Amino acid sequence: MTQTDSSADSQMLLAVPTKAARKAAASTVAALLSRTDCADIVRVGIPRALLYYRYGVLWTTFFEQLGREVVVSDISDKDTFDAGERISVDECCLASKLYLGHVQSLIGACDAVFVPSLANKGHRKGFCTKYQSLPDLVANTFYDRELRIVSLLVNETEEKIDEKSAFIALGQRFGVSAADAKRAYRAAFSAQQRADRVAARAQERLMARLDQERKHAQDQKPDRDRTVEQAPASAPRSGAPSMEPPIDGQLVAARPSQVRHEAPLAILLVAHPYVAHDPFVNGGVVDVLESMGASVLYADQTDHGKALHESFEFSETLPWIVNRELVGSVTLLHAHVDGIVLVSAFPCGPDSMTNDAVARCIQGKPILSLIVDAQSGTAGLETRIESFIDILRYQQRGGYLHG
Ligand code: SF4
């Protein structure tokens, strides 16, 4: 085709790509792929925040496979958060403010910071828009600083770019061949899968042990039922000795063997991974639960594929993949836990909708919903968790909540 083509031909050109147009497009893609603008980067910085807690193994392994040194920012603390908050707009959620603090801490410690843009992994598998806009957010926040950003885009629905092709293209920008970039991605993908499997299996083993202990405690129940029937109306506090009626009707402390057989208390913690596994963000909720004798199961450590599949039983339309996996995990683990704790970072849009739906629709288990922000401190959190655990213990002993 030439510029002298008739208008009818031009219309056809718009409707059906010609051989020449396809060739031109292919050479543009090839030119983009052959860019090696990251070849000089030796040290890649990765902020220990947001989806690092989900894809950290994948990202780290990928760059290491490319022969790069990876620098991960330190664990979160108040200084990191304060730094992030100073440069954030008020509307940012706690987790994304903290992310900016982590980025800032990497300036000068690496040649470039990896800030991916994750939009979706397909229909109904979207990511929070914050993850998608991160490269723009970081570039605009640090426009006057010496900060080089390395990014990629995963957007299967609109751009038809899946994770694998995004990483292969990125690898080529680091100056390696397509085949080597593919190998690096495969190794990284397998490493992430292995890490996820190890976490999921460890959790399954813990759950099986708790189920067994619960059954064992159930077998001891006649003794404990007798205890409860004679117990005073107020619920004993967790950790207090249970009471049994002696022959003369006075209540005395239970024998140690009975205390030992108290059923375990399994709590399902439902939160984004960067909330659940970062004690600075969650206000130490895991420590508080464990200090009260509870065993914590993590909703984000259930097999991701199973949880995602299960989530469609709960909702056909929920748009966010991570929230989907959390919800799916709630329904899969429901029968194995005594209570559910939802933790959300203020002000999280996806969680406000999802957690409200969970609280309304998941029946039969007590649910505690917590919203954390960096200003609130932990005193209120501890009090609420203590009350929640007291209620669960009372229920276990035959109290006023019956499933
Ligand atoms: S999912 Fe919520 S907490 Fe996470 S980045 Fe988005 S708004 Fe922030």
User: Is residue 63 in a domain?
Assistant: yes
Q: Do the Cβ atoms of 80 and 74 come closer than 8 Å?
A: yes
CATH number for the domain that contains residue 132: 3.40.50
Instruction: Read off the pTM.
Output: 0.81
Tens digit of each residue's pLDDT (9 = 90 or more) over 11-56: 433 344 456 655 655 555 555 555 789 999 999 999 999 999 999 9
User: Is residue 83 in a domain?
Assistant: yes
- What pLDDT does residue 376 have? 61
Please tell me if the CB atom of residue 128 comes closer than 6 angstroms to any atom of ligand 1: yes
Per the structure, the complete domain to which residue 353 belongs is given by 264-396
CA of 96 from ligand 1 middle (Å) equals 7
Residue 122 Rama label (left phi>0; alpha psi -120 to 50; beta): left
CA of 80 from ligand 1 middle (Å) equals 18
User: Is residue 205 in a domain?
Assistant: no
Residue 347, preceding peptide bond in cis (omega within 30° of 0) = yes
Q: Which of 139, 171, 194 is the last residue of a domain?
A: 194
Please tell me if the CB atom of residue 352 comes closer than 6 angstroms to any atom of ligand 1: no
In sign, the C-alpha dihedral spanning 81, 83, 84, 85 is: positive
Is the pLDDT at 293 greater than 60? The verdict is yes
Q: Which of 173, 194, 215 is the last residue of a domain?
A: 194
Is the pLDDT at 257 greater than 50? The verdict is no
Select from 161, 168, 110 the least CA-distant residue to 132.
161
Are 184 and 278 part of one and the same domain?
Answer: no
User: Is residue 256 in a domain?
Assistant: no
Is the pLDDT at 233 greater than 60? The verdict is no
Number of domains the chain contains: 2
* Cα gap 204→307, rounded to integer Å: 13
* Cα gap 26→209, rounded to integer Å: 56
User: Is residue 235 in a domain?
Assistant: no
User: Is residue 238 in a domain?
Assistant: no
How many helices (DSSP H) and strands (DSSP E) are in the chain?
Answer: 17, 12
143: its two tokens: 């426009």
User: Is residue 279 in a domain?
Assistant: yes
Are 188 and 51 part of one and the same domain?
Answer: yes
CA-proximal residue: ligand 1, atom 6 (nearest): 128
